Structure 1
Amino acid sequence: MAGNLVLPARPVTWPAMIGIPPRPAAGFQPRIQAEDIHRHWKTRNGARGPGPDWAVLLSGPPGVGKTQLAASVFQDPAMGVDLRLWVRAESRTSVVAAFAEAADRVQVPVPDDADDDKKVAAFLNWLSTTERIWLVVFDNVSDPAQLAGLWPTGPGRVLITTYRQDAALVIGNGVSQVRLGVFTPEEAQGYIERRIQDATRNGLHTASNVLDEADGLANDLGFLPVALAQAVSVVLYQVIRCSDYRVDFAHRANSLSELFPERLPADEYERTVATTWSLAMEQANTHLPNGLASRMVQLAAATNPAGAPEAVFLAEPSLAFLSAASQPSSPESEVSAAQVRSALRDLHSLSLLEHQPIPLAIVRMHTLTQRAVNESTTASMSETAVLALADSLSVIWPAQQRENLASLLANTEHLIAEFDDVLWKDGAHDVLFTAGISMLETGMVAAAIRHFEWLSKLSRDRLGHLHPDTVVGRSDLARAYKDAGKLAEAIEVLRQLEADYKRQLTQTNNADFLRVQGNLATCYQELGQTSTAIPMLENIAKVLPNLLGKNHPDVIATRNNLAAAFLRSGQSERAVPLLEGILKEQEDRLGKEEPTVIDARNNLAGALLGSGAVAQAVELFEQSVADESVRGSAHPRSLAARSNLGHAYLKSGMIRSAVRLLRNVLEDMENFLGSDHPSTLNTRNTLAGAYFTLGDVNHGIRLMEDNLKRQEEVLGKKHPNTLGTRHNLAGAHLTKQHVALAVKLFTQSLADMEEVFGEGHPRCAEERKNLAYAKSLLGPSGIV
């Protein structure tokens, strides 16, 4: 970290709690196993690293209360820990996302959006070396092998919940296992009594002798906590006695067995929950008319059991699905967001799901309840619910990406794992593409590559090489490679796609084919092969308007890319008029404040800046900052506009103004986008350059060294931006007479440039000169 520029806006407040555990269930029943967990931990005595009792594994079948027990331990103030971290551990992705958030919250220099083991290593290293005592809970681990390399060590405690009885063997040595089963008869009786007492204390009317045969009810339900929760909720909801519920339960169990023997689960616990769920749903349906309750639980049954944002249930596709329960359809039958929130509270009161409105609005449904719902739902209705959920995830994703990225990804992974056939019924569902693009936009480039490799292969196998969804998937894979600096891989994907089109098309005046060629041309441009890129882009810019119309976004993007290629090749006299024409056309058609118009103005300003028309560029960038300010200073577009203006100030010689503006922008980007967002990385480099120009080379070097490490982790060592930073850093060290270090950096830079661009590339020739000059400053022994 350099200077005070990367200090977070708010200091860490200890003790800290990160992650949202579920709230204590109504009438929460303490379990004897909590004492077993604490007893194992007492043997640690601050020991570091794996060893006896480095982790406690809480295992047991679904529905016995593992998560509730873990949450009670997690929240126990007597634990005396400085950091509590609650991790939803269904997948590696969700664990990495949780670690990234924690790293940011406790000010560890680790990428905010990390998804690779290297990015996680910094946070794990902090856990292993800090003097602070911590507790990490991994809730609902389904595949321990997936989390290899992510288990923390250090002066802390680890608690893992899982239904896997073999998890301890998979995780390795030093894991102490605590098994949790159903309630004991005494615990079950205590739970029922506590629920009734709490209800009475809160002014709820209960039946006289409500506890009549409470022990028998617990026995009927196999002492299963999740079933008892639903049963007692119905007892309170209907104002009946436990003995009355026993009669209803027996009748319903017999009816289900006689009417749907093929649907009734073989597992005893699942059969019990199927019955208690049926009785609870009967009450929900009486209170929520027109089938709303049934559709609400069908939607919830498709979500990740760890929870989904409440916004999913309030999105337009979900509201349309819920409104369709009313027949015939009419404006009056449309379900509103307020009605959905009210319905969630009703279903929560019947223990059919958990609605946690604060601090983050989350809806959870227990796995056993989900199974009961899915078993009672027709295939067509289940499919409709899944599609509504997938559509809703796509709709809310942009607004929810920053706060709920881990949950959005986890729910997408859940849909892929459980409802794969539905997502591919009419081609690949949009949410599959949305998830991958989100990874790219948040800096999770390695994850995006893996995702699009999977998606493009599956799409080719299922839909064919040139199905529109396959083409999009392969193009997105190329984009992911390009963003990672893997230009050779990106070009190979696009060349294969281009060849597939040429084999099938009778003529190449095809919009999809030209889009592929446009992407390929931008990759050539990135490599500096503008002599190849420019003719391709000129042809596309000539043909594509005839196919799509001159105002189509792809046509405008092609003309912008052509202008960028002109600039890259030193032909600013061709680039500037082209961009001036685009801006005028956009302003005449849309006005001056539309985002696409502001983008056109920024592109022109950048071209003017590169051509030496600095004053004009500054004026245009200042206008863009003013236009974008209405979005708020934290909006990504506003941040980008301010960063561009800072760069323009630097080029115009307004060095102190540039430093002031870039410092403020960098601080805002770190707070709102994350320290390792691609835009933040670019702005940090620009600020370092401003310090160089100001004469504060040491400050600039510290900032650029920090940025180089981040770029190597986030973008990769051979990404063009990383190569540029290493080159600039070498030059800065040379300025300070750090000749040996400069030689080392120039040597590495040249080797990487030759691998990326080819030995004959102009950048490589220039870097050889830089290296030779630096070496000439060394004495015969390699000493200055």
Structure 2
Amino acid sequence: MPGLLLAAGDETGGVHVIHGLGGCGKTALAQAVFNEVTSSGRRIGLWVNASEPSTLRSGMLAVAADRGAEAGELAAAHKGQRALADLVWSCLHSSSEPWLLVLDNADDPTTLGEGGWLRQSPRGTVIVTTRQAGSQVWHGARIHRLGVLPIEDAALVLRDLAPEAGSVEDAETVARRLDCLPLALTLAGSFLSRQLLESWSMSDYQRHLDDNPTELIDQGAAPGDSERNARQLVGRTWEISLAALADEGVPECATLLRLLSCWSSDPVPLSLIRPEAVTAARFDAVHPPLTGPRVEAALRGLLDHSLVSLVSLDVNGEAVRCVKTHGVVLDSVAAAVPEGQRTLIVAAAAKLLRGAVPEGDAQAQDAHRVSHLAPHAANLLRRVEDSDSARSVAGLGTRLAAGLFAGGDFQAALALAQAAAESAGRWLGPDDSVTLRAEHCAAISLFRLGRFEESEALHRRVLDSRERVLGPEHSETLESRQDIHEPLSQLQRIDDCLATLRATAEIRSRVLGEHHRDTLHARALLIEYLAVADSVDEFDRIGPEIVAACEEHLSDVSFTTVTARHNYAYGLYRFGRWGQAEAEARRALRGRELVHGPDHALALSAAVLLSWILRELGQIEESLSLGRRVVLGQEQVLGREHPYLLTNRAGLAEALAAAGEVTEAQDLARQNLPLCERVLGLDDPVTVKTRGLVG
């Protein structure tokens, strides 16, 4: 605002156009500048409602009268005997005082252009507020795009209006949910401040927003005629623009905006709505229909009316052009989609999103390319209203969740898998294969996040359902039988862990063959738990054999081969064969980094194993360096309270103390102790060890 304020107060002959989404505060900004300039006496102020030709004409007639037009001149202009615009600007040019003229809500620039209403004068400055960004009428004007408020200012708006409703943190939470749109913030604050029968906190308001956000937000508007107050309702901000676009011959804008409302307010890659993809998604049954050749015109219309904006998103180091829509607008648009159109729009949105997700088994490298699509899949799940859409969208959500899991983003994978499972369960039933796939993905994510008991319980439910519905030898039943071993092992049920892996390997060997990838994977997992169970003879007999079979029948750097090497190296370490273990652990670490990336949880697991081995071999400097890398990496990847991190931080502190790095060891132990006590318990061995290191 400072630049605009300076121009309005000191500049002459300038035209400034403030454009942005309805509700972003264009009028409020113009009003603030207007008040500042006029209250200081630097200029007289002239304000005209330019939303309709009639209000524009009557307002400009008042401007002419204010600036000295004679009664006869005004009458002649009113009767059409003289061009009113010429009279107005003649009066403005000859004004004895400098002025500021605001043309507010000029959302149809052609009205200004065709009537000759927008001109420049050496006696004053013009400010125009509009939703229409792209117009030849603005040629020569200075353009100011107005977005949303910074989060701190947005929270301040809520706190100013409803100071008793919550803390600054509560206000920031609500502000983020409202995407910091000034109109939505004002309505929310007004609602919270005016309650009589109920007394909602900001937290209450936040919870109710998920039910019907547009209706709730609009309840904050002052009572009155709905048409007169249309611009003060978030539910109407976009309708005004879409109606104008339809009049301009671009009705497809409505369908494109409805499509975008299926996804989230996060940036949407333009590749998702490329013409050939839209044509294949079949929008011809939607009204108004959207065809590939009309996507460009529809997108341009939304951009020109400030309903969307173009942004750039960094995807795996590559700049991707995207379209971004305000979240409050998306909620409002989605709520207003005609009932008969909703399933068609959701199906098309799912097809477009599915085309951007790689087919086949999820790979870590794929996750980096599609992680930005996860919010759109999550929002699409909320738009599902029938079983057909649920099957398609939940399946897509599970595929994306599996990709996130492969890439090591376990928290995001869990959230998306749980959302997919909830939607599929509601529409398809708890035993449907789509529901069970989503729950399986959630179960393995829970394990990686250290929530072992929850993981085991969910795995057990999925395994029992799959065994009953699909049979004991179905590939998905065997997947559950294999993967339940992980929480079982962390819950110290090693015999159960070994039994389920042996059973999985035996059935797969019989059904798929001894050297099938899935058979070899179950056997590769078995290596680790033979070591944990101190089954030295069986470990020595089959460990090298399994590693060799994986190398022979799978690629040297396949996930299964790398897993076999990693587990074999762990067994060698556990049995005190440090020299052999070092060589195998280094190969395992290289393999993990190649397959998953250096910051993945499994790569960090291989790194900590090598650090343990090197410590036993007396290679202290490299051991400590790896230990520090692991602790830092696990805190970022797994979270501050993950049991693996707490254990490895305690181990690093112990190693540092033994190496004479007492200060660093004590600092780590002090950081670790309260977390260990809360997460692991007061009497856990790791907690006891950490307590002893605090000093």
Aligned to 2:503: 539
Aligned to 1:415: 380
User: Retained in 1: the 8 A contact 2:266–2:324?
Assistant: yes
Mapped partners of 1:467, 1:401: distance in 2: 26
CA RMSD, 1 decimal: 5.8
**CA displacement, residues 278-330 of structure 1 (integer Å, 9 cap, x when unaligned):** 235x3597xxxxxxx787545323223xx22333x425x977632527999xx
User: Retained in 2: the 8 A contact 1:521–1:533?
Assistant: yes
Aligned to 2:191: 166
1:310 is aligned to 2:268: yes
Aligned to 2:280: 324
Q: How many residues align?
A: 522
Aligned to 2:13: none
Aligned to 1:707: 672
Aligned to 2:48: none
Aligned to 1:687: 652
Aligned to 1:731: 689
- Higher-Rg member (1/2): 2
- Write the mapping of 1:290-689 to structure 2, written as runs, cut at 5 A: 296-304=256-264, 307-311=265-269, 313-314=270-271, 321-324=277-280, 347-357=302-312, 361=322, 363-364=324-325, 366-367=329-330, 370=333, 374-375=337-338, 378=341, 381-391=344-354, 410-421=375-386, 423-426=389-392, 428-432=394-398, 434-435=400-401, 438=404, 441-442=408-409, 444=411, 448=414, 456=421, 459-460=424-425, 462-479=427-444, 482-483=447-448, 487-500=452-465, 508-626=472-590, 639-667=604-632, 683-689=648-654
Aligned to 1:31: 28
User: Retained in 2: the 8 A contact 1:274–1:372?
Assistant: no
1:275 is aligned to 2:275: no
In the TM superposition, what is the alpha-carbon distance from 1:569 to its structure 2 partner?
0.9
With over 3 angstroms needed to count, the CA separation of the structure-2 counterparts of 1:727 and 1:136, relative to structure 1, is same
**CA displacement, residues 732-776 of structure 1 (integer Å, 9 cap, x when unaligned):** 54478x6xxxxxxxxxxxxxxxxxxxxxxxxxxxxxxxxxxxxxx
Mapped partners of 2:31, 2:641: distance in 1: 40
3-state DSSP of counterpart to 1:424: helix
**CA displacement, residues 62-121 of structure 1 (integer Å, 9 cap, x when unaligned):** x9999x99977845xxxxxxx94879xxxxxxxxxxxxxxxxxxxxxxxxxxxxxxxxxx
Task: Give, as a single letter, the amino acid of the residue that structure 2 aligns with 1:428.
Answer: A
With over 3 angstroms needed to count, the CA separation of the structure-2 counterparts of 1:587 and 1:174, relative to structure 1, is closer
With over 3 angstroms needed to count, the CA separation of the structure-2 counterparts of 1:423 and 1:625, relative to structure 1, is same
With over 3 angstroms needed to count, the CA separation of the structure-2 counterparts of 1:343 and 1:512, relative to structure 1, is same
Task: Give, as a single letter, the amino acid of the residue that structure 1 aligns with 2:191.
Answer: D
3-state DSSP of counterpart to 2:324: strand
Mapped partners of 1:587, 1:167: distance in 2: 65
User: Retained in 2: the 8 A contact 1:353–1:364?
Assistant: yes
Q: Which has the higher contact order (CA 8 A, sep 6+)?
A: 1
Aligned to 2:119: none
User: Retained in 1: the 8 A contact 2:447–2:487?
Assistant: yes
In the TM superposition, what is the alpha-carbon distance from 1:619 to its structure 2 partner?
1.5
- Write the mapping of 1:217-232 to structure 2, written as runs, cut at 5 A: 224=231
Mapped partners of 1:508, 1:143: distance in 2: 49
Mapped partners of 2:220, 2:420: distance in 1: 39
Mapped partners of 1:179, 1:319: distance in 2: 39
3-state DSSP of counterpart to 1:363: strand
In the TM superposition, what is the alpha-carbon distance from 1:31 to its structure 2 partner?
0.4
Mapped partners of 1:342, 1:675: distance in 2: 49
With over 3 angstroms needed to count, the CA separation of the structure-2 counterparts of 1:310 and 1:495, relative to structure 1, is closer
User: Retained in 1: the 8 A contact 2:611–2:622?
Assistant: yes
With over 3 angstroms needed to count, the CA separation of the structure-2 counterparts of 1:608 and 1:138, relative to structure 1, is same
With over 3 angstroms needed to count, the CA separation of the structure-2 counterparts of 1:342 and 1:400, relative to structure 1, is farther
Mapped partners of 2:612, 2:651: distance in 1: 7
With over 3 angstroms needed to count, the CA separation of the structure-2 counterparts of 1:642 and 1:481, relative to structure 1, is closer
User: Retained in 1: the 8 A contact 2:669–2:690?
Assistant: no
- Write the mapping of 1:41-120 to structure 2, written as runs, cut at 5 A: 74=149, 84=152
Q: Return 5+ residue gaps in structure 1 as ranges.
A: 1-22, 40-62, 76-82, 88-123, 129-133, 145-158, 183-218, 228-266, 286-292, 329-333, 739-784
**CA displacement, residues 596-627 of structure 1 (integer Å, 9 cap, x when unaligned):** 43333222212221122212221223234445
In the TM superposition, what is the alpha-carbon distance from 1:362 to its structure 2 partner?
5.1
Task: Give, as a single letter, the amino acid of the residue that structure 1 aligns with 2:668.
Answer: L
Moved more, 615-624 or 518-527: 518-527
Mapped partners of 2:567, 2:593: distance in 1: 18
In the TM superposition, what is the alpha-carbon distance from 1:383 to its structure 2 partner?
3.3
Aligned to 2:80: none
3-state DSSP of counterpart to 1:653: coil
TM-score, normalization by structure 2: 0.58
Mapped partners of 2:459, 2:588: distance in 1: 34
Query: Identity across aligned pairs (percent)?
Result: 15
Moved more, 433-442 or 701-710: 433-442
With over 3 angstroms needed to count, the CA separation of the structure-2 counterparts of 1:664 and 1:475, relative to structure 1, is closer
In the TM superposition, what is the alpha-carbon distance from 1:570 to its structure 2 partner?
0.9
User: Retained in 2: the 8 A contact 1:270–1:372?
Assistant: no
User: Retained in 1: the 8 A contact 2:512–2:519?
Assistant: yes
Mapped partners of 1:347, 1:272: distance in 2: 12
3-state DSSP of counterpart to 2:561: helix
**CA displacement, residues 125-182 of structure 1 (integer Å, 9 cap, x when unaligned):** 9x88xxxxx99484374799xxxxxxxxxxxxxx94556863444543999x999979
User: Retained in 2: the 8 A contact 1:666–1:680?
Assistant: yes
Task: Give, as a single letter, the amino acid of the residue that structure 1 aligns with 2:260.
Answer: A
Mapped partners of 2:175, 2:146: distance in 1: 9
In the TM superposition, what is the alpha-carbon distance from 1:29 to its structure 2 partner?
2.7
Task: Give, as a single letter, the amino acid of the residue that structure 2 aligns with 1:540.
Answer: T
Mapped partners of 1:655, 1:384: distance in 2: 58
In the TM superposition, what is the alpha-carbon distance from 1:426 to its structure 2 partner?
5.0
- Write the mapping of 1:737-756 to structure 2, written as runs, cut at 5 A: none
- Write the mapping of 1:207-218 to structure 2, written as runs, cut at 5 A: none
User: Retained in 2: the 8 A contact 1:522–1:561?
Assistant: no
In the TM superposition, what is the alpha-carbon distance from 1:526 to its structure 2 partner?
2.7
In the TM superposition, what is the alpha-carbon distance from 1:354 to its structure 2 partner?
1.9
User: Retained in 1: the 8 A contact 2:377–2:393?
Assistant: no
3-state DSSP of counterpart to 1:429: helix
3-state DSSP of counterpart to 1:414: helix
Q: Return 5+ residue gaps in structure 2 as ranges.
A: 1-17, 37-106, 108-128, 134-143, 156-165, 205-216, 285-290
